[in-house]
Every structure is written in structure tokens, then in C-alpha cells.
Amino acid sequence: MSLCPSFSPFLHLAACSLLLGSALSAQTTQLVAKDDPVMLDRIDVIADKAKNFSLPLDAAPTTGSRLGLAVRDLPASVSVITQEMMQLRGLRTAVESVESAVGMTGGTNFGSIPTYSTRGFGGNNVTILRDGIRQNTASQSSRTVDSFLLDRVEVLKGPSSLMFGEGAVGGAINYVSKNPDRTRRGELLASIGPWSTYRIGVGLGGPIPSLNAQPSTLSSVSYRLDLVQNSTGGYQDRNQQDYLGLAGALGWRVSDRLSLTYFTTWLSDSVESYYGNPVVYDAVINTTVAGAQPEVRLFNGATDRFVNPRVDPAARRTNYNILDNYADTENSFNRLRAELTLAPDLELRNETYAATQVLKWRNLETNTWNPVTRLVARSSFVHIYRDDVLLGNRLDLSLRRPLFGLTNRFLIGASIEHNDQIRGGAPANVPTVLSSVSLLNPDVGRGPVAREQKTSRVVVGTHALFAENILELTPALKLVGGLRYDHISLQRDTLFNPTTATPTPFSTFKKGYRPVTGRAGLVWSATNTLNAYAATSTAAEPVTQLVGLAAANADFSLQKGRQLEVGLKGTLLRDRLDFTLAYFDIEKNDLLTSTLDPTTGVRISQQIGSQKSSGVEAAFALSPADGWRIELNAAYTAAEFGAFNENLGTGVISRKGKVPGNVPDWVANAFVSKRFASGLTFSGGPRYVGDRYGNTNNSVIAKAYTTVDASVSYPLGRSTITLRGRSLLDEDYEPIAGTTMRRLADPISAELTLRTLF
């Protein structure tokens, strides 16, 4: 799919068709009768997506709508990060790619679990998808993905249940696979960096002549195959990370009305986890007691703040995890897409898909400083086993036909999913607390002797009906909307009771939900290149992720999220400037929170909590002169809890007005690129992320940081060699806010990359 302005491919196609016609006429030795039909070979012209910036307003992202609407016609905020952008900016992973979008923060947490935050919401409030398929919540299935395997990353802001079902209150991130190539092409990528880091990628694509029919027909078969491997020893001690990915696509254009495309991806990763450095502190102060004095004792995140918190520079590279730790995962995604044109104004699409995950995990996940013993206390030994199989099918029918004499586009569809999830862990008698160790040169030892046991099976079945519509009320005003109904059924079978060693099922829990969500908005075209919009959207999600839902949560309804958004999208300065501006207001209600029974004083749980955020986002992409590219984006977010109480064990404490964890007030990116006539290119820019809180008490602060990357590249024939510097300010910072541990980013580094196209 071309991401260039919509008129560009047609101009290219027209020009190429004229040239081809002239060439054929000059070479033809046989006269053709005027009325005789002549069938020419099919020509696919793909415009150079490298001319695009991070704001391809004429692209039609599948994450924003199934109607094929361009970004500028959507009453929602959507960012698109193309493969060309990833290469130019040196974005190695999906996480780095997402962070280039306006208002996005992300990071790879312990065990190689990527996580994101936007518009005041993070973690499982942001849905992660692969080609529109959500395998599970982010904490359950999200893994590191090398950007080499992707065609693009699409980011949809705000409640997105219309598109992807339950969840997605904060937004949705879609990793989009590469399509089969209809022209022969290849790519080789190789890079080396510090800490024994290397990355190798190979991609091939094109038609398959032996499978293609005669040139006189429209039938054709094409493919795309990509393989990537990257490995690093990690800046931290014992932080080896190995990733291997394989992606393939096979397309068959059966006729001018029917096409079939099969996609497959297989990912494997093996990680020695670094969970963070313990925060060393001299004392704590109880913030709930007026005039409290410093006390030398263990920190309580619900009530305390640190006195002189820091990471000891001498322990910067120390890993306190056990020697026999691991996090090994294999994920696969398979998808068959069929597209059938029933009539010029009627199209049918069907996608059948399957996704699997096997994860084995053994880690010691908590290491905290004890100011009394002046040792590092270690706890949270965790043994995890996951085996998931997701099967699904999605069918939709789109119709372009006037409604009451007005131009109208309508889509209706249905989907069915079956997610079978096996969960396991260590028996209850396995110790989770290990001996304390010294801050420097710790003797971490090995973990307890334990073997994971399958403890539960959770089956989630989902049936959904959805519809979208765009109605042109006037040539300048469009009404865009959609509705979705989900029927969710869950069954949880306990396979093993670790407290009684019962090897057979002893309990079954069932729960069902029927949420209705949607989006409605108006888009007004002030000019041909300037659109204004206003929209509202909704989302729904359970009080805890479905795979963890148990009888204790049986009486709770879905949490509900809604967003109001207004904005502008436009192209100015003779197509040299693209921009988006947006204001948003989000509220999530029915949060599960602790309260005290007014009669008995007993602590109970009720759905009376709320969380809200509002803010503004702006993004600009400017080409002031040939060879120049300037991209700027910034987002301001004000987020707080409405009504929310935290459990203190014996009582509760209100967090009303407090800022949710890991939500920065400001996020900004700048990127400048200059390409000279010789091909020499300089590029780079800073990224700023504001202060974030590590706890709901707002007593732990992850300080704001600025990081700068820059590169120089030079073409050598069909190859380009790039020297890139990362984190050039060499600042110690936390990509994700911690509390008693800080998981610091890598320091200053450089890498050398060779990219060859053939």
C-alpha cells in the first residue's frame, strides 16, 4: 500500500502507461485492427514512500478505520511510522518506532516486555496488535519485535474498542507486516555496536514466474520473505538478549476480482533479565504525618518518600537476578486474507487467523535496599508457564452507494475468536524470598529448585458485530461513525491446587460481558487541504485482564472509558508542510477501588473509582527546501485520579487528585535531516520526556530526561553506510518510572550500519 499523497501514484501510473504505450507502438511490426482488444502486462507502480514524513495525511491506515479512510478524513488521531522512517532514524525495534509518534512513551520492561503510555494511560490500557489481531493484553503477550520485519507501525490515540474489542482505553498500536512484492527486490541490513551487539536482516520479494499464469491473464503470484537476528550482551552484567524473527507473505491475484494473501510470522527470544538497580536511600519520611521526621527503615510506597534517593554509580552494571534466570518465548502469527469484489461498489473481505505463544519464565524480580542492614533484600521469585492458542475469523462487507441522495460508504462485519490459555507456575511451597546480598559484588547464587506446574486453563470466546459508516452531508461536511457489540464468555478451570496438591480440577468459574462501544464524529473540509474534526469514542475493559479474572471479581462490571477530541489536520505552504493539532479529554470510570464499610468499618472493594486526562498534541512535518526534512511533535497531558483509594492493609487512603504512574506532562521529539547532492546525509535530534511518578502517592519521581541521537550516512552504489550515535548526552534516565528499583537505559553508544538494496 502506497503511503504517498493519493494523486502521486496516479500521475506515475499515467506517465508510465504513456511511455509503455509509445515503446510498444515503436516495436510493433504487426498491424492491429482498431477494434481488436490488446491485453498488456499488468504494471504495478509504487511511489517512493521515502518522500513521506511521519504525517502521511493521505495514507489509509487500517488501524483507524476499515473503510479505507485517509488520515486527514478520520475524526481521530493516527500516526504512521513507515519502514523508510525506521531506516532513516535508526529505529531498531517497534518500541523505538512508536516513541517517534506524538505523545508516545515506551520501554522494554523486565523479561523483554514492551509497554507504552499515551494520553494519561499506560500498560494494559494500550492495546498492542499484530496486523489488527490482539493476541492478549500487553503484559501477557507483548514481545520485542525487530522493526526490519515491519512495513509500518500505526498508532491510534484514545478509546479504540470499536476497532479491536475490549480494552484500548488509552489507544492501540498496530504492527503491520510487509505485503508481497510485485516487483523483484531485495534488502540486506547489517550493524554492529557495543556490548557485543550485532543485527542482521535479509529481505527478498517479487513475483514467482514458475507459479504465474500466462502474461495475457491477470493472475499472478508474488512473495515477501524477511529474516532478522539481533543479539546483545547488554550494558548490564548477565543481560544477554537474543532475538530471531522470520516473516513471510504470499499473494495470489486469482483474477481481477479475487485476491488471496497469506502472512506468517515467527518470533523467538531468549533473555537474561535485568530488573533494575536498587534505589539507595538514607532514610524515609512518612508523608501522611504532618511534620514527620526521617526514619531509618524500609520504604513504604503508599506513605513514604525517600531521603536522598540514588543509584550507586559503582553498582550501575550490577544484575541482582539469580544465575539460572531465563525468559524464553516463541510466538507465531498466521493469517489468510481474501478480498473479493462482488460489484464495482460492493467488496467482501475475510481474514482467518491463528496466533500461538509458549513462554517459560524463571526470575527473581525484586531487589530493594535496606538502610538498616545496608544490604539488598531480594524477593519475588517467579516461575511462569504460558501456552496460548488464539483462533479467529473476521468478515466484513463494504458498500459504496448513495443514501438519500448523499454520497455514503457503509461497512458491516462480524468476528469470532477462541483464545485457549494455559497458565502455570511454581508450587506454593517454593520460597519466593532469597537471602540478602551486598550492594557491590553480590553473591546472587541460583534460585530454588522448582518445576512449573500447569495450574489453570482459561478459555475466552468472543463474538462481535461491528459497523462503520461515512456520510457526506455536504461536499465539505462528513459524518463518520461506528458501533460494535461484543459477546464475551470466559471459563476458568483450575487444573492444580498448589495448597492441597490436588492434580484434578476442583473449581470452575464462568463470566460473561456484552459491551457496546463506538465512535462518532464530524469532519469539515475548510479547504481541499485543511480539515477540522470533532469526535467522541468509547471503550470498555474488565477490572483485571481476562486471563486473570477469578471468582473474586465475578460481581464487577466492565470499566468504561470515553473520549472527546477536536482537532485540525492540514497541508500548507504548497504541500511543504503537513500538520496535526488535537485537544483530547478522556475519562475512565468504574475503577475498582478500596473503601470502608460505613457500618462495620471492614475494607471492601467497589467500582467507584475514576481516572481522567486532558491535553493537547501537535505535530509538524516540513520540507523547507530540497534535501531537507524537519519533523517536530509535542504533547502536553494533565492526568489525575478522580475518585480512587489505595489499600494500606488495615485501611485505605484517598488518591484523588494524584497523577497516575508513569505519565509525563510533556513529551517532545525533534528530527532534522539534510541530504546533499552527493548523497551524504546528516540527521538526528533530541527527545524530551517530563517527570513521571513511580507510585500513586506521587512521592517517587522519575526525573525528566533529554536524549539526543545523530547520524551521518553515505551511499556507496546501491548500499548506504551509516554511523549513528545514541544517547549522546550520556544521561542516566529511566524510560519507565520505577519505585524502589530503577531500570536505567543504556549510556552513550555508537553503531555502524550497512544497508544494501538489490
Are residues 238 and 319 in contact, defined by beta-carbon separation less than 8 angstroms?
yes
27 φψ region: left (φ > 0), alpha (ψ -120 to 50), beta (else): alpha
Check whether residue 34 and residue 93 sit in a common domain.
no
Q: Alpha-carbon distance 224 to 50, whole Å?
A: 19
Boundaries of domain holding 20: 1-47
The residues with which 205 forms a beta bridge, in sequence order, are: 185, 224
| Helical (H) or strand (E) element with 164 | helix 161-164
- What does the pLDDT look like over 401-457, one tens digit per residue? 999 999 999 999 999 999 999 999 888 789 999 999 999 999 999 999 988 889 999
Check whether residue 154 and residue 11 sit in a common domain.
no
Kindly give the pairing relationship between strand 126-130 and strand 516-527: unpaired
Q: Alpha-carbon distance 535 to 531, whole Å?
A: 13
As for how many domains the chain has, the answer is: 2
Query: What pLDDT score was predicted for residue 466?
Result: 97
The C-alpha cell at 419 is 483464545
Are residues 684 and 671 in contact, defined by beta-carbon separation less than 8 angstroms?
yes
Check whether residue 689 and residue 632 sit in a common domain.
yes
- What does the pLDDT look like over 163-191, one tens digit per residue? 989 988 999 999 999 999 989 999 999 99
DSSP designation for 557: -
Please give the angle made by the CA atoms of 408, 410 and 411, to the nearest 5 degrees: 165
- What does the pLDDT look like over 720-734, one tens digit per residue? 999 999 999 999 999
Q: What is the CA radius of gyration of the chain?
A: 27
Query: What pLDDT score was predicted for residue 720?
Result: 97
Instruction: Indicate whether 419 belongs to any domain.
Output: no
Query: What pLDDT score was predicted for residue 18?
Result: 32
Q: Alpha-carbon distance 416 to 406, whole Å?
A: 33
Instruction: Indicate whether 506 belongs to any domain.
Output: no
Instruction: Indicate whether 501 belongs to any domain.
Output: no
Instruction: Indicate whether 23 belongs to any domain.
Output: yes
Mean pLDDT calculated for residue range 82-87: 94
Number of Cβ within a 10 Å radius of residue 671: 22
Per the prediction, the chain carries an average pLDDT of 90
Are residues 518 and 162 in contact, defined by beta-carbon separation less than 8 angstroms?
yes
Question: In 87-184, at which residue ranges do the beta strands (DSSP E only) sit?
Answer: 105-109, 113-118, 121-122, 126-130, 150-157, 171-177
- What does the pLDDT look like over 569-585, one tens digit per residue? 999 999 899 999 999 99
Check whether residue 459 and residue 527 sit in a common domain.
yes
Query: What pLDDT score was predicted for residue 214?
Result: 55
Percent of the chain with pLDDT over 70: 90
Instruction: Indicate whether 416 belongs to any domain.
Output: no
Nearest to 347 by CA among 261, 254, 409: 409
- What does the pLDDT look like over 656-676, one tens digit per residue? 999 999 999 999 999 999 999
Q: Alpha-carbon distance 650 to 152, whole Å?
A: 50
Check whether residue 40 and residue 156 sit in a common domain.
no
Q: Residue 145 pLDDT more than 50?
A: yes
If DSSP states are collapsed to H, E and C, what string results for 16-72? HHHHHHHHHHHHCCCCCCCCCCCCCCCCCCCCCHHHCCCCCCCCCCCCCCCCCCCHH
Q: Residue 647 pLDDT more than 90?
A: no
Check whether residue 110 and residue 139 sit in a common domain.
yes
Check whether residue 55 and residue 31 sit in a common domain.
no
Query: What pLDDT score was predicted for residue 219?
Result: 60
Instruction: Indicate whether 147 belongs to any domain.
Output: yes
Q: Alpha-carbon distance 171 to 161, whole Å?
A: 9
Go through the chain and tell me how many residues it has.
Answer: 758
Check whether residue 134 and residue 5 sit in a common domain.
no
